[in-house]
Amino acid sequence: MNSIHKFKIKSISGSIIDFEAFKGKKILLINVASECGYTPQYGQLQELYEALSDKLVIIGFPCNDFGGQEPHNQGQIQEFCTINYGVTFPLTEKIKIKGNEIHPIYKWLSSKEENNVLDSIVSWNFCKFLLDEEGHLLAFFPSATEPASEEILDLI
């Protein structure tokens, strides 16, 4: 079965995030934006990251694909997240998650042909993908699903 552990991506600070390093932990991936109605979810994401760091990795993917709600550069995004929400979980470089320039990770996440589990449509900011300890896709959650919702916590 396909695993997300085959991917690497640049972090917001320019270092490399290697998904292979997360073997043995669940992974929650979220496309994030600073000027979205769902932006306060950063707070819950940080709380989860701190409370469950022994078994969960959270990674935010800044993107400006929905409503132009992430117009900032990477330094501004990182500063916003740190100052307003105390974010310490990894953030990637700003990416495209739809269209012809879709990042390979999001192509894999949203296509059953790629991930062997399900097709999903990322229709707005703060959509969530949960993966198991072997890097296999478990579930997709829409923006309105809170990070600390029972639906997500039951799978962690």
Supply the residues annotated as catalytic: 84
Q: What is the rounded radius of gyration, in angstroms, for the C-alpha atoms of the chain?
A: 14
Sheet-wide strand order for 26-32: 56-62, 26-32, 128-131, 137-141
Residue 142 to residue 25: CA distance in whole angstroms? 22
